[in-house]
Structure 1
Amino acid sequence: MRTRLRRSLRTRLALLAGIAMLLLNVVVSGFVMFGIHDDVADVRASDVSGRALRVLLMVKRNQLPQVLEPLGLDGIQVVDPAGRAVAWTPNLAGAPRQTAHIPRDQANYVSRSCDLPAFPGRCELVVALRAYQPEGTWIIYAFDPAVPWFVSPQVVLFQIVVSALLVGLTFFGVSRVVARTLAPVSAITKRLAEITADGGGLRVPVPDTDDEIRALAETANQTLERLETARARLEAAMEQQRRFAGDASHDLRSPITAMRAQVEEAMLHPEETDWRETSTQVLASLDRLQAIVTDLLTLTKLDAGAPSDHRPVDLGELVTAETARPRAKRVVTGPEEGVVVMGDRLQLTRLLTNLLDNAERHAETQVTVTVRQEGGRAVLEVLDDGAGIEPAHRELVFQRFTRLDDSRNRDAGGTGLGLPIAREIATAHHGTLTIEDSPKGARFVLRLPLA
């Protein structure tokens, strides 16, 4: 039960509201009793005074008997001018004077006295009336129970009943309001509990109210949507990683298999083998293997976000330096001076080299490299005069270990990682590398933020 109370927000709030209402009723009841106590006491004093007035009239008419009727009071005692008790009700017969309170400047006097001789252990309301006679002043004392602090048991009972009703209504009302308020939360909790790893597309219900719970539901749905997107991206990345691992294994196995075959064939016929030619073939396979491993290491560093030294790099100067080396195809440059970007010079050199190598393998006679500023960005273009790339295949060439059929036929020695590495370097420098339309050949366009 205690565990349930700790876990139930509805019950706890209802209990707190009930306790608050109970405390409020106690305070209000105290003020009410304090307010009506004096009024009830005044009414009681007026009633006692009215009954004692009958005895005063008897004194005025000289018709006072020694034994008086109680008149519904606890007692009546008449004191003559000499201070002697001369008349009384039967319960005060022979009793001494009960009190010495004497009204002086007024005709009557009301007081509250406790432990009087005839009323031990009790508090009495004492009303004293002054009767003026020729022989002196007579005093009529009337006694009746004093009004207690709680006024009467009926008032206490009424207060208890009212408080109980208010506390019960408060508990019930708050419980209902909290239950209706938290009903959407329960629905959200239930729906979230139904979501599993394969539960894509599920959303929590959004209540019609415009409050914090609606904001919670909308935020939960946005979070679920982001999680689904992240899961889709993760699955795509894992699938790409699996394909990458498979393609890497295949591309690594090819030169290893070739070297093994060459060595085994040479060992079968050692006396007939041209070891220089065999060594040349093995070295070629080793070069290919080394190129693949180097590219794999480069991609791993780029994927891991390895820190690089970004400094101002003049793209025109970089192009001039890299194109000065002799190549199999003619390279025409048109660099613009003062096109400076912030980047890692070694990585940008690797990007340009990969683009030049790719263009050289596919160009017929010429490769054109230009550098310029355009729209507040640095633009580097590498254009070859080869067959070009179909628009449908322009993104495929940036996938790892992807080579188009024509490319495979013309360039069996490529690793299939040059262009993916170039794009990763562009992305790491907050730029883009795309293939755009050209009249002839493939036109690779690199855009980087200016320094």
Structure 2
Amino acid sequence: MTLLSSVVMALLCGGICALVLIGVRDRAVADLTDRLLLSGMQVVRLIEHGQVPPVLPVRKSALIQVIGPGGQIVAASPSLAGRPRLTRLTPRDEDSSANRVICDAAGFPGTCLRVVAIRVPTGNGSWIVYGAGLSTPWYVSRSLLLGLLAASGLLVGATAIGAYRTVSRTLDPVEDICAELAEITSSDLGRRVPVPPYRDEIRRLAETVNQTLDRLEAAVERERRFASDASHDLRSPITAMRTQVEEALLHREDSDWPSVAAAVLASLGRLQAIVTDLLVLSRLEAGAGGPCARVDLGELAGSELARRVHRMPVVMHMEPGVMVDADRMQLVRLLANLVDNADRHAESTIVVTVRPEDGRSVLEVLDDGPGIPPEQREYVFQRFARLDAARSKDKGGTGLGLAICREIVERHGGTLTIRDSEKGARFVVSLPAAPAGAAGDRTADPETLG
């Protein structure tokens, strides 16, 4: 930025200096021409009165020559006395005067002169009066050129210093942000970068960095809690199996080995369920999925519920033609998890409803169990969430089923919420309805699925 501003100022100063030199030079040339014409007119008066002396009474520095009708030098200023004719410049017939820059004139080698020629008509022919002066150079004078260069240098220097200081002050917050970010580690995510006081792009950068750090800290904290909960839930069945086996080994003769094997097998089943759910969650977070196709939500729910065995009877209210574009296998997993959750906590009945609602496709699973308090309706979707004994994982769940459901629904651009009901828990899935028209397969990816 400093270099750019300096170059721009240098170009600007160069343009201004050029305009000044052109203007001043034009004025200087005009003044010189006027002086030469004035000096020549004084000699013209002498010619008209017939009083032309051989050496003209003008200043010694003046360059004046008078050429008679025969082409001979009749008179000259003291500095040109005895010198040859300056030039053959002659005004045109229709002009009384002419001026031109002549270089290497007779007697002035290596010098350029501005010469003004004045025609003086008389009865015995035309006389020519030459007035000459040193030609004005392009820079007019050394003092003017040095003054312009000095002023331009000062302006460019001031611009460079000002730009450097301004940009440095502007970028100081960036250095502070970089320094703070370099010191933040995974064990110290509570730190934040400083936010500049001015509302500019750098302030927005700092705010965005802090928001990113907030999300990163929340994600790391969530993963830490998840790792802690997962290790606890995985350790429980392993500990139970170890205890059962060790106790049986201590009393080999008295142990009921088929019962021990059944207990260990139950613990292994729970362990396998937890590992399977963890794998499903990781695959969902990685964006894995099968092909998405047009699915009749009511037909899918009806067929899946008909072939599954549940502890409690399931009442179905399915409206036809409720279509969604989704991964069929993920929808099956969503329905199975919600119904299994309801089956563990229902007291007598489970109600599954599929219907359109406000241009969306809705799947609702309602049980008549103890329900979920409003303040804990978001908490239950966290991994390994634990409520009271009435709805705890000890009744058969892994603590990951609802988290998997929420992840599947959000991948498909929908919502999963718990709404009020007279009794029990009412889980409501709302998915975008499939647009009318021919169904077409498409590959699922995290962006298109939400």
- In the superposition, relative to structure 1, how do residues 371 and 90 fare at CA in structure 2: closer, same or farther (>3 Å)? closer
Aligned equivalent of 2:423:
440
Aligned equivalent of 1:393:
376
Aligned equivalent of 1:156:
141
Q: Does 1:21 align with 2:3?
A: no
Q: Name the SS of the counterpart of 1:13 in structure 2.
A: helix
- In the superposition, relative to structure 1, how do residues 159 and 200 fare at CA in structure 2: closer, same or farther (>3 Å)? same
Q: Distance in 2 between matches of 1:101 and 1:430?
A: 93
Q: For residues 8-37 of structure 1, what are the alpha-carbon distances to aligned partners after superposition, in whole Å with 9 as ceiling and x for unaligned? A: x45653454345434443455346535653
Aligned equivalent of 2:203:
221
Q: Does 1:327 align with 2:310?
A: yes
Q: 1:304 aligns with which of 286, 290, 305?
A: 286
Give the alignment of 1:259-274 within 5 angstroms. 259-274=241-256
| Percent pairwise identity | 43
Give the alignment of 1:297-376 within 5 angstroms. 297-324=279-306, 325-376=308-359
Q: For residues 189-228 of structure 1, what are the alpha-carbon distances to aligned partners after superposition, in whole Å with 9 as ceiling and x for unaligned? A: 2223223236637433437xxxxxxxxx1x4333333332
Q: List gaps (5 residues or longer) in structure 1.
A: 1-8, 208-216
Aligned equivalent of 2:266:
284
TM-score by length of 2: 0.76
Deviation at 1:243, TM superposition (A): 0.7
Deviation at 1:320, TM superposition (A): 1.9
Aligned equivalent of 2:33:
41
- Coordinate RMSD, CA, aligned: 4.2
Q: Name the SS of the counterpart of 1:383 in structure 2.
A: strand
Give the alignment of 1:37-436 within 5 angstroms. 37=29, 40-51=32-43, 53-54=45-46, 57=49, 70-72=57-59, 119=107, 121=109, 137=124, 146-150=132-136, 156-157=141-142, 159-160=144-145, 163-164=148-149, 167=152, 171=156, 179=163, 183=166, 185-195=167-177, 196-197=180-181, 200=192, 202-206=194-198, 217=200, 219-324=201-306, 325-407=308-390, 411-436=394-419
Task: Name the amino acid aligned to 1:361.
Answer: R
Verify the 8 A CA contact 1:79 1:138 in the aligned structure 2: no
- In the superposition, relative to structure 1, how do residues 83 and 303 fare at CA in structure 2: closer, same or farther (>3 Å)? closer
Q: Distance in 2 between matches of 1:410 and 1:140?
A: 127
- In the superposition, relative to structure 1, how do residues 448 and 42 fare at CA in structure 2: closer, same or farther (>3 Å)? closer
Q: Distance in 1 between matches of 2:357 and 2:75?
A: 125
Q: List gaps (5 residues or longer) in structure 2.
A: 182-189, 435-450
Deviation at 1:68, TM superposition (A): 5.5
Q: Name the SS of the counterpart of 2:288 in structure 1.
A: coil
Deviation at 1:374, TM superposition (A): 1.1
Deviation at 1:336, TM superposition (A): 1.4
Deviation at 1:444, TM superposition (A): 1.0
TM-score by length of 1: 0.76
Larger % of helix: which?
1
Q: Distance in 2 between matches of 1:309 and 1:93?
A: 109
Task: Name the amino acid aligned to 2:363.
Answer: L
Task: Flag the structure with larger Rg.
Answer: 1
Verify the 8 A CA contact 1:52 1:129 in the aligned structure 2: yes
Q: Distance in 2 between matches of 1:378 and 1:400?
A: 26
